[in-house]
Amino acid sequence: MRKTLLFIGFLGMTLMAHSQVIFAVQSPSNIAGNYGFTWAPPSGGWGTPDFLIPGTYVEDTLMFVDDSTSGTNPQGNPVSAEGCNPLVNDLTGKIAVIYRNTCEFGTKAMNAQNAGAVACIIINREPGLINMGAGAEGANVTIPVAFVEDATGATIVAEMANGPVVVLIGNKTGLFSDDAGLTPSTTLIPRRAGQPALLSQSATEFNFELGARVYNYGIGDQTSASLQAVITDPTGATVYDETAANLSIVAGDSVDVYPALANNLPAFSQATYAPGTYTLTYTVTVDTTDEYVGDNTLSSTFTINDSIWSYAQLDSAGMPQAQNFYRPSTNNQTYSICTVLDDANANRLGAAGVYFAASTSAASGLALTGEEMALYLYKWEDQFNDLTVAPTWDMLTPVADGFYYYPADLQNQTVYAPFNQAVALESNQRYLACVQTVNTDLYLGFDGTDYTWNVNFYLQPQTPIENDGSYFSSGFGLDLTAGVGLHVFDVANIGIEETSTIPGMAYPNPANELVNISLNAEGNASLIVTDITGKTVLSTSIILENGKSAIDFSSIQSGFYTFNITTESGKNSQFNVVKN
């Protein structure tokens, strides 16, 4: 067993571009495998080893820290395992396990190092991963420091109660003679995870390309490696099975199996698509026996369904998943997660609402009960064909909106929120569906599906975010997919009912000096603004030109207001606005 941090230099720095940094439980077998994590890099002010250097890793048995502090923390874990004070137990030759809660990450790691630990793992107190700040002590920490989310920690801690748990953390490049593998960021996967059946009526309406970069992490050349792609339908039957064979990859290099290259796989399509979940599995094999198989297969799914457009994977209940929760590090007003819909046959659909999930940090003590979430559906009318031209984000035309108020403290749970009124969609029109919060203590849900190669190949935006009025096409990164889905329906069968109510919205929201009103109406209209008590604070006439009108809001005090608009044709619109 590899007991200490090693530096294997004979492969040289040329491998750094192909390095694979992993957090892998080696034993026991029932929880063995790779898990998501972040780590403390030297570039972040730490004195820790650089896992980007091939062969830099540590592997050993886990052990909890104990600083003898009494009591339990808000998560029900022993405060003594937070490691904020000098430790009373000997961790010589062990990987320290520490709970996040109080004190700096660097302090925790330094206490573990002083007790003899060869590395430490810090378990988050909530879902999601973060980058760890070094703090006052981080520069003096010379052992690796890893960070895992609460669910991963719970799995590991439960098994530690049954016996030894051995973990490998670091860069496995060059540790084995024969070792090929795949990474999610260099793999083509289905175009989206939630695919409406009405947009999948033939092989030309829904299809996708396949391919992956095959890495040789070992020190031996491979002359006949292969990449197999298999897709099974909802019944488990194989509907696609293709292999790119005889791949030659020298040690420390890679080869692309990619559309239009010499090594390629045929595109996937079906004449008809049965509803349900399809599974794509890539498998890489080498000339002999692969000595590390933890990265030899990658799987992804897509679900043909009646009512959800989503890039996030759908869970067992058929709703978009939210596995991790994030918010911008700098955020003062608004924060939105969005999904983009653009399809040649979108006029078959109507849009009725959005799915999303949110959470608050345990440290904040805030509940979601009563929390207001704003919902928006825009026509995204920027003129660009693909992401070779950066979107300007200055042509977002509102077509639907709404508000959702949490009925209970539904932490981390995907919920459905309807728009005020459903709208019919147009073909070949790019739409942006967003959910927005003005609470800077709120985190929104993301799925771990990595679309890096997909976006680089198709060059289309998928799940942008908005932060204080600025939009970002790639969100927090192409390896994080916003856990938001658009609820759609068959316009032909259900239709859009004619009502006296029309959707409307104001932007920016929260507002400052000026509020822009947008609704599907023209001409003269009356506006009445009431405060939270129902008192009228503004009553005026407005003129809607191209569905828009600007309102001077400078004399209105900060607070929560309801806008009531009546058009000259008798249509009504009501929506809420927050004044900063």
Confidence of residue 129 (pLDDT cuts 50, 70, 90): confident
- Tokens for 79, please give them: 């405060």
pLDDT in tens, 404-440: 999 889 998 999 999 988 999 999 999 999 999 999 9
Cα 413 to Cα 317, 325, 416, 467: the distances in Å are 12, 11, 10, 23
Q: Residue 537: CB partners within 8 Å, gap ≥ 6? A: 529, 530, 531, 556, 561
Check: pTM over 0.85? Answer yes or no. Answer: no
pLDDT in tens, 244-272: 999 999 998 999 999 999 999 999 999 99
Q: Which helix (H) or strand (E) holds 180?
A: strand 180-181
Percent of the chain with pLDDT over 70: 95
Q: Roughly how many angstroms between the first and final C-alpha of the chain, as a whole number?
A: 60
Looking at the DSSP bridge assignments, the partners of residue 561 are: 577
Give the per-residue pLDDT at 50: 93
Q: Strand, coil or helix: what is 140?
A: helix
Query: What single string gives the DSSP state of each residue in 17-52?
Result: GG--EEEEEEESGGG-EE---EE--GGGT-----TT
Percent of the chain with pLDDT over 90: 71
Q: What is the CA radius of gyration of the chain?
A: 27
Contact 279, 237 (CB under 8 A): no
**Residue 509 reports pLDDT greater than 80:** no
Confidence of residue 130 (pLDDT cuts 50, 70, 90): confident
Residues 260-286 have a mean pLDDT of: 97
**Residue 10 reports pLDDT greater than 70:** no
Q: Which is more confidently placed, 546 or 298?
A: 298
Give the per-residue pLDDT at 67: 96
Q: Which helix (H) or strand (E) holds 186?
A: none
Angle at 403 between CA 401 and CA 409, to 5 degrees: 145
Confidence of residue 16 (pLDDT cuts 50, 70, 90): very low
In order of their start, the domains of the chain are 13-171 (3.50.30.30), 180-304 (2.60.40.10), 308-493 (2.60.120), 504-579 (2.60.40.1220)
